[in-house]
Amino acid sequence: MTTSSDIAIDTSLVRRLIAAQFPQWTDLPVRPVRHGGWDNRTFRLGDDLAVRLPSAASYALQVEKEQRWLPRLAPQLPLPIPAPLAMGRPGEGYPWHWSVYEWRSGEIAMHAPIADLTAFAATLADFLAALQRVDADGGPPPGQHNFFRGGSLTVYDHETRWALGALEGRIDTDAAGAVWEAALSATWTGSPVWFHGDVASGNLLVENGRLGAVIDFGTSGVGDPACDLSIAWTMLHGESREAFRAALPLDKGTWARGRGWTLWKALIVAAEMPGTDRLEVERSRRVIAEVHADHAQCG
């Protein structure tokens, strides 16, 4: 499979692609974005545009989906989302479709000061509730395009159990296993709804201390919204988590599956990275502990 390691995704490539396919923007300067992402590489194009290029074939599946659906979702949501302006074709040695978007100002929540985390959580919950109310008819179901977000957690059962085995003696694997079993037993029975698929601090833009926009809908689709709840344990805590929970019209089983999605990701990061990225491992262990505690309290 072709990956970003095989292609120099840099300003030179972007300039060549723009010159070949969108000559009206040829004179605009191109510069990389400081936190430009891993699944996709993002570049500023002048002051008002952004170029986004998938870094591997698995992410390229998301381009046409975003081009089609984001303009339909945007008018029905209470916060701005990415606005695609053009879709580029393979060329100049780059093998996949890519996008030009309006530039969205703000700083990702991972690096931005937030004035009131509880208010931030409530605003985010209102956004997700509005997204779930959008007509899901014809929307993209879980699949390869979004790594089966919105589908059954059983897709990741083998991977999760491998991680539990690898972490034996380093975390409370009995407690983690109980969280996972509870998530697997809480089957989604509702009608499919829209979900974002990757509600993380790197995909939330902050302006003046408040949530200003939600970006990166690459893993979006229609199905079970439980995958959108991970932010409750990765970023929120205490009062902010409760505000987030109270503002979303979801049942106990959906929250159990949300803990399952969160646990799966934290476990594989903690199991795959020991000794390589200690900061990321420690962050994942804290998330696992938060999920344990919430499961014990809420069941």
Tens of pLDDT, residue by residue over 110-154, are 999 999 999 999 999 999 999 999 999 999 999 999 999 999 999
pLDDT at 274 over 70: no
Strand, helix or coil at 75? Answer: helix
Q: What secondary structure letter does DSSP report for 105?
A: -
Give residue-wise pLDDT tens across range 168-204: 999 999 999 999 999 999 999 999 999 999 999 999 9
Phi, psi of 27 (to 5 degrees): -80, -5
Tokens encoding 158: 């083998």
Residue ranges per structural domain of the chain: 4-103, 108-298
Model pLDDT, residue 38: 72
Model pLDDT, residue 278: 83
Give residue-wise pLDDT tens across range 204-252: 999 999 999 999 999 999 999 999 999 999 999 999 999 999 999 899 9
Average pLDDT over the chain, rounded to an integer: 95
Question: Domain 4-103: what homologous superfamily?
Answer: Phosphorylase Kinase; domain 1 (3.30.200.20)
The domain 108-298 having CATH identifier 3.40.50.300: the answer here is: no
Could you report how far apart the first and last alpha carbons of the chain are, in Å?
42
Tokens encoding 214: 């939600």
- Concatenated DSSP letters of 194-256: EE-S---GGGEEEETTEEEEE---TT-EEE-GGGGGTHHHHT--HHHHHHHHHHS---HHHHH
Percent of the chain with pLDDT over 90: 91
**Model confidence, pTM:** 0.94
Model pLDDT, residue 2: 47
